[in-house]
Structure 1
Amino acid sequence: MNPMRALRQYQKVNSHAQISEASPHRLVQMLMQGGLDRMAQAKGAMERGDIAQKGELLGKAIDIIVGLRQGLDEKKAEDPASIRQLDDLYEYMGSRLLQANLKNDPAIIDEVARLLITVKSGWDEIAPE
């Protein structure tokens, strides 16, 4: 077996194990980190001129943000208005990543990454239930 293929298979199995054992709080952290990772990888692809890879990675980052939006639950929130604001922020992030892809603009990816880092750092401070 090809060593790189074996490593990818191990990482896939390991990530599935982490996901199956993770709390909902941890899953959100993993999603946010995955979004940041995809944005960083997309910037690298952009710098290399790999348009297809850039588009695929930004698409994955957008999918992650859509997943975060879908996970918001206004009914369970102590402050429904803050959930609506977060929903609006996620919507903004997704639209900005689309613009980054169309305009081939790494500065827009940086902007969205900074926003997601801010949200993630707040989430990281919340102790899981």
Structure 2
Amino acid sequence: MVSNRRAVNAYQNTQVSSAVDYADGIQLIQMLFDGLIDALSCAEGEIERKNIPEKTKSINRATGIIFGLQDSLDFERGTDLARNLSELYEYMGRRMAFANAHNDINAIREVRGLANEIRGAWKLLPSLLKQGPVAKAS
């Protein structure tokens, strides 16, 4: 529950939506990824328009979401997965810092690609959970 609270705080701090109070854990993570993708798209557009102040706001928003996702990881229950995601989020954060410093659209696109892959996995999760555990073949 603590990890959900941290994710809620990150989401509220980035002002993505007021629907957070009604979201379950999976929906919340999906909403965070939606907000992240949106912020990355905005940052890319602002770089193309050479609007540096707005680019910085969008990158800061995206970075805040990334580190909010990292802070919400449950290392007790998810050990290897949580560690791998934490390292990936750390890498994404470094790429965002590079994109901000160098107005690098390719770095933003790279992070957006990674975020889309992870978001896709989270979108599949509810249907996988409904199926229940997979029986082992004898």
User: Shorter-chain TM-score: what band?
Assistant: 0.7 to 0.9
AA aligned opposite 1:65: I
The CA deviation at 1:46 is 0.6
Number of equivalences: 113
In the TM superposition, residue 81 of structure 1 has moved relative to its aligned partner by 1.2
Whichever residue aligns with residue 106 of structure 1, its letter is I
Q: What are the within-5 Å matches in structure 2 for residues 107-118 of structure 1?
A: 107-118=106-117
Taking the aligned partners of 1:90 and 1:44, their CA distance within structure 2 comes to 22
2:34, 2:96 → 1: CA distance? 16
Q: Aligned residue for 1:60?
A: 61
| Length-normalised TM-score, structure 1 | 0.83
CA offsets, 1:2-22, max 9 Å, x none?
xxxxxxxxxx8xx31x21111
Structure 1 match to 2:125: 126
Report the 3-state secondary structure (helix = DSSP H, G, I; strand = E; otherwise coil) of the residue aligned with 1:92: helix
- Is 2:43 the partner of 1:36? no
Structure 1 runs, 4 residues or longer, greater than 6 Å off: none
Q: How does 1:45-124 map to 2 (within 5 A)?
A: 45-77=46-78, 80-124=79-123
Between the two proteins, what is the percent identity of the paired residues?
Answer: 35
What is the Cα deviation at residue 82 of structure 1? 1.7
Deviation at 1:121, TM superposition (A): 0.5
User: How far 1:53 sits from its partner (Å)?
Assistant: 0.4
Structure 1: gaps (5+ residues): 1-11
Taking structure 2 as the reference length, the TM-score comes to: 0.78
Deviation string, structure 1 residues 45-87 (Cα, Å, up to 9, x no partner): 111110000011100100000000000001122xx11210110
Q: CA deviation at 1:89?
A: 0.1
Post-superposition offset of 1:97: 0.6
Per the alignment, in what secondary structure is the counterpart of residue 72 of structure 1?
coil
Q: Gaps (5+ residues) in structure 2?
A: 1-14, 130-138
SS at match of 2:126: coil
Query: Which amino acid in 2 is paired with 1:56?
Result: K
* Aligned-residue RMSD, C-alpha: 1.4
Q: 1 CA distance for matches of 2:23 and 2:32? A: 12
